[in-house]
Structure 1
Amino acid sequence: MRYITEIVVNLPREKFIEKLDNPENMKHWQSGLVDYEFLSEPANEEGSRMGLRYKMGKREFEMVETIIKKNLPSELHTIYDTKGVQNIQKNYFKEEGTSTRWISESEFKFSGFGMKLMGFLMPGAFKKQSLKYMKDFKAFAEDGTSVLHT
Structure 2
Amino acid sequence: MKYTTEIRVNVPRQVFITKMDNADNMKHWQEGLLSFEFLSGKPGSEGAKMELTYKMKNREMVLIETILKNNFPFEFHATYDAKNVHNIQKNYFQDIDGHSTQWICETEFQFSGLMMKTMGFLMPGAFKKQTLKYMKDFKAFAEDRISVSK
TM-score using structure 2 length: 0.98
Which range moved further: 30-39 or 57-66? 57-66
Q: Distance in 2 between matches of 1:103 and 1:43?
A: 23
Task: Using the aligned pairs only, state the percent identity.
Answer: 62
Q: Does 1:23 align with 2:9?
A: no
Partner of 1:146: 147
Over residues 31-89 of structure 1, what are the superposed CA-to-partner deviations in whole Å (9 max), with x where a residue is unaligned? Answer: 00000000013112111000000002211110100000011100000000000101000
Q: CA RMSD in A?
A: 0.6
Q: Distance in 2 between matches of 1:5 and 1:39?
A: 29
Q: Where does the alignment leave 5 or more consecutive residues of structure 2 unmatched?
A: none
TM-score using structure 1 length: 0.98
Q: Distance in 1 between matches of 2:41 and 2:116?
A: 32
In the TM superposition, residue 148 of structure 1 has moved relative to its aligned partner by 1.4
Partner of 1:12: 12
Q: Distance in 1 between matches of 2:67 and 2:7?
A: 22
Q: Does 1:45 align with 2:45?
A: yes
Counterpart secondary structure, 1:91: strand
Q: Where does the alignment leave 5 or more consecutive residues of structure 1 unmatched?
A: none
Q: Distance in 2 between matches of 1:40 and 1:67?
A: 11
Tell me if the contact between 2:44 and 2:70 (Cα under 8 Å) persists in the aligned partners: no
Partner of 1:118: 119
Counterpart secondary structure, 2:102: strand
